[in-house]
Amino acid sequence: MRLGIIGLPNSGKTTIFNALTGQNLPTGAATSGQFEVHTAIVPVPDARIDHLKAMYNPKKTIYATVTYADIGGLDKGINEGGLKGQFRTELGQADAFVHVVRAFANDNVPHPYETVNPQRDLETLDSEFLLSDLVTVEKRLEKLQGEMRVKGKTVDPLVPKELELMERFKAQLDAEKPLIEFDDLTAEQHKTIRGYGFLTLKPVLVVANLGDEAKDVNTLLQYNRVKSQIVGLQGKIESELAQLTPEDAAMFMEEYGITELSAAKVIRLSYELLNTQAFFTVGEDEVRAWSIPIGATAPEAAGAIHSDLQKGFIRAEVMKYDDLIAGGSEAALKATGKFRLEGKEYVVQDGDIVHIRHNG
């Protein structure tokens, strides 16, 4: 899972990246329009893993992860003629976006549009992506129409189907609506358009960078886009906290009455935004969280561990996390009849503890 962190110049995008990843990249140095990308893999905070670790005392503990890419170079008007090259490729490869919008004032860091207005900045980002997708659609339409004219009745049967889809996309984008609002795309259509990397088809997590002042994000922004979330984060404070040892960070948080870092919430929301959930495997060697799409079956969960487990799948031994914690041990859980065997049709639930029985 890869999320691209984007934002207008001087939005504090790299500060948010540092807060989420614990990196210490220099901030404020990049010039407008300069392409640059930095990546980091981040564990998803999960108290359930911590409790299972205490129960099993394993040699290794492995959390689910997300990858963040800090993508520089976005600015109003960059789309003229369409996004190009490595910048467009990097945006297209993201599974979702973290839109960082500035919600803090700082005379030493001038806003590129002179005034601080997070709603305007968010709409600017959306407009650039709408325009990018429209350019892509128009170019594809031109090519498909050309094939229809040249080949006539001998044209590939898939061409008129894609042409119809692209015409629907163009109408949607002309109406200034994102492509993600289409809820009737078939699996075949998703496969057809996968290679285009349409930007408005991707989920969005909006992070209002509050600087060092706590504010209610709901008074700053409204965003009704489907598959989206809004969260506020005091970027300056949390990026500094991310550089401290866990012990020093805990002392600082206690002193200032901070019960939870917003960065941890952003990471969890990033994970949930991609229609993903976690199941666990446990034992003395390892306690581990595995990522699967919501709705995945037991064999598909087995495949997340190893393809051989999916091929040789027989049954899944399943425990509910809450039942295990309440019972205190696997033995106690079995005594209550809450330790179950499930077959190929079982849909794995978030927090299931699973052991795969298989051939081989």
Domain count, the chain: 1
Flag whether 339 is in a domain.
Answer: yes
pLDDT computed for residue 77 by the predictor: 62
Domain encompassing residue 317: 295-358
pLDDT computed for residue 250 by the predictor: 87
Flag whether 7 is in a domain.
Answer: no
pLDDT computed for residue 31 by the predictor: 45
Report the CATH number at residue 309. 3.10.20.30
pLDDT computed for residue 34 by the predictor: 62
pLDDT computed for residue 283 by the predictor: 94
CB 340 within 8 A of CB 317: yes
Flag whether 312 is in a domain.
Answer: yes
Flag whether 57 is in a domain.
Answer: no
pLDDT computed for residue 72 by the predictor: 79
Mean pLDDT per block of 10 residues along the chain (360 residues) reads 92 92 76 73 95 96 95 68 71 93 90 91 90 93 92 87 94 95 85 90 95 88 92 90 89 80 90 94 96 96 96 96 93 88 96 92
Flag whether 302 is in a domain.
Answer: yes
What does R_g of the chain's alpha carbons equal in angstroms? 23
Flag whether 28 is in a domain.
Answer: no
Tell me how far CA of residue 255 lies from CA of 103, 213, 249, 292, in angstroms: 25, 16, 10, 38
pLDDT computed for residue 271 by the predictor: 92
**What span, in angstroms and rounded, lies between the C-alpha atoms of 173 and 129?**
10
Flag whether 326 is in a domain.
Answer: yes
> How far is CA 25 from its chain centroid?
21
Flag whether 120 is in a domain.
Answer: no
